[in-house]
Every structure is written in C-alpha cells, then in structure tokens.
Structure 1
Amino acid sequence: MKSVAHFLTVWIWAEIYSTTSETLGPEGCQTAWFHRNDYCYHVINARVHFDSAKAICDLKGSVLTSLWDQDEAEFVLKLLNELDVKERMAWIGAVPTGGVVNKKWVWLDGSGSVELLKDFQSPEVTDELCVSLAEDSTILFLDCDVTLNAFICKKPVQKLYVPDGMNVTSEFMYLNKNPEQTIFERLRPPILEKINMETSGVHHLATVDVIHETDCAFKCYTIGECNAFVVTCKSSRKCNVRLCSLMAGFDVF
C-alpha cells in the first residue's frame, strides 16, 4: 500500500508542477522559493513520508535541504515557522551511509556529514530512520514511513552570462587580467524568462568545475565559439566549487 500511495502522491505533484508558472524573482528563484546565498529554498506544506518528499524535490530539480551551518538552519527554520499549520515539522535531506561499523548521517546533496551541524546528536544510525526539523529547531529522527506535514527543497541558482556586447543589462563581469574591460553580463528576470535554452541553435561545449565565476568567464573568453555560460553552485559547503557550463550558438533575441 505504501508504494501505491507513494506513486499517487508523486504523480499528483508531477501534474501540479507541470502546470506551475515559471515566473522568476530578481535573484532567479521561482515563485514561492526563497533566495539565500545563491540557493533557492521551498517549504512545501503536504503530508507525505520521506521517500515521497525526496521524489517531489527531485521533480523540482532540487533535493531535500541540507543545513550546512547554524545561519542556514535559522533561515530554513524561519521559513518553516511561517507555515499556517498546528504542528510544524519537516523532512530534511539527511540519509544514512557507510558500513555496519562506520555508519553515519550525510546530506543527500553530497556535501558531507550531518555531524558538522552545531549541537547535532545522532541516535544509532539505521536505514529505518529519517531526519526532520521541528519548529523549535530540534533535529528529530523518525520512522521514514511516518507522514509529516511539510518538507523543504533546496537548489542552486543558475546564473546565465552572455557577452557584454549584447548590451542587454548593466550588470557586468570583469576578468582579473583586464579589469578595465567588461566581458560578460548576467541575465536576470524578466529577460531570463523569455529565453528558451532548448533552442536548436544552442549547443553545449563543455562542463567544468571552477572556483570563481570569473574562472568560468575566462574559459568562455578563451574559446572562440563560446558565447554564453551558466554557473551554479555544486553541492559543497559555502559554494566553494561551481559548475561551469559553456555554450555556443546562444542568442538572446
């Protein structure tokens, strides 16, 4: 019965999501998502068990949220406590990993161990327990089949840059090697919403890891056919590694 309920829950959310508006806020987060440090967060008020919460976040191109430090935990907790429900408790993205001896809790986004969170105390790690956040900031370990009335998704903002010669915006990027020369400009809503990234003329050149956004700009600058790139934080703490996707054939209009 659980598998049937799980399928129906995810299917319903897939139908809802397929008709949801893609309107973006100024930082690139969709409606009902909240921006913090190059990430978007969405608290969803729905009574589901852990597997369904995880699957619904996946549908939205996100993961159940990690909490990398106390500031992020307080930000997410504030969002949770804005829900108009009697008991605020939400699934978050921690799962068990490792062998029998060294089993531990890690974040679903691959960013490391949950033990790094302040005042974190874990019971014996088992596959039957999943992690939740309560309205009083308590981390609770519950049976994964229990249904909670909320869960929290998280995903990185995608920053799209094009050559400054297109003169689309006034937000420019400079390369360290030539600080007097503007090289790329970031596209933000509402312009961003009008761009179809699936246009046949656009093709992907390469994807590389970089430290800074300007490193991505320099790689695009040195490749003659590259005329756009997207930078997103990888699942690492403090966004100290970024994913750089280089593109060619891009046209704003």
Structure 2
Amino acid sequence: MSAYSALTAASYRASVRDKTTVFFTFAFPLIFLVVFGLIFSGKTVEASGRGYIDYIAPGVLSWGVGNAAVFGVAFTLMQWRRDDLLRLVRTTPTPLASVLASRYVIALVIGAVQAVLFIGVALLPVFGLRVDATWPLALPVLVCGITAFLAIGMVIGSRADTPEAVAAVANCVMVPMAFLSGSFYPLDAMPSWLQSVSKVLPLGYLNDGISKAVSGRADLASTAVACAGLAVFALVFGVIALKTFRWSNES
C-alpha cells in the first residue's frame, strides 16, 4: 500500500470513527435548510421573482460544504500534529503532498454526499426547490470551492494547537462569512454594499456559482468567473498553508 493510500484510509477512518461528528457534519447545515425553508416557504424574492428556497438551498449547501472542508482538515492536522503522528510521517519518505492530498479526497467525497443530500431534501414538495438543466455547471464550482476552503482549513490547522482554538478560529471565519455571502439570506434582497462585500469572500463566489447553476441563470462565463475567484483564494491560502505548515508543535 502506498503512503497516499494509507493516509487516505487513515483519514477516512478518522472521519467516520466519531459518529456524532459524522451526524452533525450533515445534519447541522440541514437544520438551517429546514428552518429557513419553512420560514420562507412559498415566498419569493421581488428582485428576481424566484422563491427564497432557490437561494437558501444553494447558500446553505455552500456553507455546509465549506464548513466541512475547513473543520475537517483543521481538526485532523491539529490532532495529528498534537499526537506526533505528523512527526512520525516526516521520518518516512512520505511527501507533504501525500498528507494533504489524502485529506483532499475525503473532503471531495464529503462534499459530494452533502450536495446530493441537500438538493434531495430541498426538492421535497414542502420546500419546492426547482433545479434547471444548467445544474451540471455547479460541479466545477463545488470542486473549486472545496479546494479553497480546504486551503483555509490547512492554515487554521497548521497554527491552532488545541481543539478549542480550531473551533474558535474556524467559527470566527465561517459564521460571519455565511451571513455576508448570502448563505442564509438572498443577496438580491440585501443592500448593494453588502452585495459588494460578498465579492471579496470565497463563500460569495461559491454561493453565486452554485445558485446560478441550480436556478438556470448560469452560463460558461459566470461559471468561469466563480471558479476563477475560488481558484485565486485556493492559491493564496494554499501558499500561506505551505509556508506555515508545522510537522510538530515544537517546530
């Protein structure tokens, strides 16, 4: 078994071992979808004429996927470093790329499962999400989004030394971003200055790309813009993560 395969298997076992964490990874964002979906059931956004669920479902999905990517890799890197597992890995020929790639694959799988689950629930008659034929354009945006938020999680996991520190920093990043990027409330219904703020946040690009693809407003140009924006964030935070990565708490 290659080092990459062994690390991927270890990452998978670490991800599914704690049943409570697995449950809330998927259930916690769904709670927001159900609550907001019921609150705004049957209501439309005047600016576009579409239902609130057409914005809420992609927004909550984007936040849930980003949240899972950030917390998943941040907690794993912190735990492996605190338990000196990374220092042991460093004594082997295993490159850093294999360590990070193993977490990347797990994040992609989790994101795919979340997307199927979220859209499936939102399509229920009680919520009434409408999915248009352009939905496949959401797939590259989803992959780019997971990549960007994984890079953010790598930065957090490389610097935070305790679970409490990971949770505090990650929540300080993700919760305000969710509100400023339209995950819980349509950007079209927000003041213009808030809509401008979303353009400098990675979650804003993820929300916009997935929302347009699901609602039939996407084309190759808008998808390319969303992917390019997320790629920039992935590159910037990826470079920072590589510069700040620590194999142990002493280094």
If the TM-score is normalised by the length of the shorter chain, which range does it land in?
under 0.3
Q: Which has the larger radius of gyration?
A: 1
Q: Which has the higher contact order (CA 8 A, sep 6+)?
A: 2
**TM-score, length of structure 2 as denominator length:** 0.26
1 or 2, which has the higher helix percentage?
2
1 or 2, which has the higher strand percentage?
1
**TM-score, length of structure 1 as denominator length:** 0.26
